[in-house]
Homo-oligomer: A and B are copies of this chain.
Amino acid sequence: MAAKGQVTRQANKEKRKEKILTVARNLIAQEGFDALTVNKLAQGAGVTIPTVHNLFGKKNDVVLALFQRLVDKVDDVLAEPELVDPIQASEAFLDNLLALYSSDEAFYRAAFLGGERLGLFEHELNEGVFKKSIRVAERLCERALEHGYLQGRLDSRWLAQQLFGSQRLARQDWVSGYIDLAHYRQQALIGMLITFAADATPALHERICDRVSQLAR
């Protein structure tokens, strides 16, 4: 049998946690990771400092919670690619990802930033998403090869790593505040297309060159 008054309490607790996470997200996105102090967090959420600790534990646990939500969301959107054509697949993939990020830019920037600063990208927590991304990219290359878009002269795993790397670098620059989402898309897309061009059959190579020239600098 449940203890007294668990349901409503739990719900309110969740509301406060959400509020705190929202404040954290905005603080990090607007003023940078170092601006995230428990004091500001508490003030912004309308609670006192120990409440933050009661709800999350250490300050880093707040960031950890933010990051966990990021991983869940990104994992969802990282579905198997349906398109076979490398150009279309690249654009669709980026559109998918970027649509997610645009839906709550402050949150995603903050969560990535926090993840970086806490060294969360080297640990198992993220390992799943990392490996999944590479696998999706590899599958993309293999299917392109099967359908005659690629020559197969370069190992799919290296192409995949490069595809992923192009996107990762652009994301870094976006998270660091150097570029906006539009440039993120452009930079990542060019990187992916150049990568495909490295092993493309003549027909695809021609199309990639055309597509790249369209992209204004």
> Which A residues are within 8 Å of any B CB, using their own CB?
119, 121-122, 153-155, 157-159, 161-162, 165-166, 168-169, 172, 176-178, 187, 190-191, 194-195, 197-199, 205, 208-209, 212-213, 217
Check if A155 sits within 8 Å of B212, measured CB to CB.
Answer: yes
CB nearest neighbor in B for A33: B117
Check if B194 sits within 8 Å of A159, measured CB to CB.
Answer: yes
**Given the complex, which residues of B lie within 8 Å of A122, measured CB to CB?**
176-178
Q: Can you list 10 contacts pairing A with B, beta carbon distance less than 8 Å? A: A121-B176, A154-B212, A155-B213, A157-B217, A158-B190, A162-B190, A165-B169, A169-B172, A194-B194, A195-B198
CB nearest neighbor in B for A172: B172
Bound complex: CA of A157 vs CA of B216, how far in Å? 12
CB nearest neighbor in B for A168: B169
Q: Which of B121, B153, B158, B197 interacts with A198 by CB under 8 Å?
A: B197
**Given the complex, which residues of B lie within 8 Å of A194, measured CB to CB?**
154, 158-159, 162, 194-195, 198
**Given the complex, which residues of B lie within 8 Å of A161, measured CB to CB?**
187, 190
Q: Given contacts A122-B177, A169-B169, are A154 and B191 in contact (CB under 8 A)?
A: no
